[in-house]
Amino acid sequence: MNRINKLRELHNEQLEKYCEKHKISFTSIQKLLDSEKTKKLFKRTALIQQNIDKEIDNAIENENR
């Protein structure tokens, strides 16, 4: 886990330098990235739920045959 934290820290430092260079708010970029992560997690969760529902429907159809 220590290596992951170091990489995360390094990425944050690079992003902060980039934001300073281009005069962009670092906190705004962080919020945008967090919202994108959340959106991807919701999308993945919805896909998993869709697959579960499909499997349940298939199981019910197979029982009814």
Q: What is the pLDDT of residues 6-46, one digit of tens each?
A: 999 999 999 999 999 999 999 999 999 999 999 999 999 99
CA–CA separation, 11 and 14 (whole Å):
5
CA-to-CA dists, residue 57 to 44, 63, 65, angstroms = 20, 10, 13
pTM of this prediction?
0.67
How far the first Cα of the chain sits from its last, in Å, is: 50
43-64: pLDDT as tens digits = 999 999 999 999 999 999 888 7
In this predicted structure, the answer to whether residue 65 has a pLDDT above a threshold of 80 is no
Domain encompassing residue 27: 2-64
Q: For the chain, how big is the Rg over CA atoms in Å?
A: 21
